[in-house]
Amino acid sequence: NIQKLKEPKYFKTWISKILINTTNDYLRKNGMIDLGHNENSYTKEVLIDDKIETKIDLYNAIDELEDKYKDAIILRYIEDLKVEEISNILDRPINTIKTHLRKAIKDMKSILKEGYGNE
C-alpha cells in the first residue's frame, strides 16, 4: 500500500503505525510467559518463542502499561518522535498524547517502585 502514501515525508509515521499495530496484534495472539524476577536485580527473564530473554525493568514497566500509553511512550522516548508526529501516527489529538505520556510516566514510576519496595 505504499503507493497510497500521499507525501513521502510521512513515510516514518506510516511505517511506525504499521509496526505498532503489527506488534500489538502479535503480543495479543502469542503473549509472553514471565519466568520471574529477582528483586536484587534490574533484569527479568521472559520466555518468548521458546527463547529466554533478559529484559531491563524499564522495558518491563513499559510492557505493563495499557496499549494507548505504551504506544505513546515508545514513540516519544524510544523512537524519539515529537508529540505532533505521535499525534499523526496514532490519529489522536495532541493534548490526548500529552495526557497519555504524563499518565504513562506516572504509572511506570509506580510500577518500578513496587518492584523494589520503595513505596
- The count of domains in the chain is 1
Distance set, CA 86 to CA 39, 61, 81, 105, 112 (Å)? 34, 20, 7, 16, 25
Query: 78 with 112: CB under 8 angstroms?
Result: no
Q: What confidence score (pLDDT) does residue 50 get? A: 59
- Strands (DSSP E) contained in 1-119 are 33-37, 43-48, 51-56
Full residue range of the structural domain in which residue 10 is found: 2-31+57-116
pLDDT digits (tens, 9 = 90+) for 52-103: 554 566 777 888 888 889 889 888 988 888 999 999 988 899 999 999 999 9
pLDDT in tens, 9-65: 777 777 777 777 777 666 666 655 444 444 444 445 555 555 655 456 677 788 888
Within a domain: residue 66? yes
Is 46 inside a domain boundary?
no
pLDDT at 115 over 70: no
Does the model's pTM come out above 0.85?
no
CATH of the domain at 91: 1.10.10.10
Which amino acid type is present at position 31?
A: G
3-state class (DSSP) for residue 24: helix
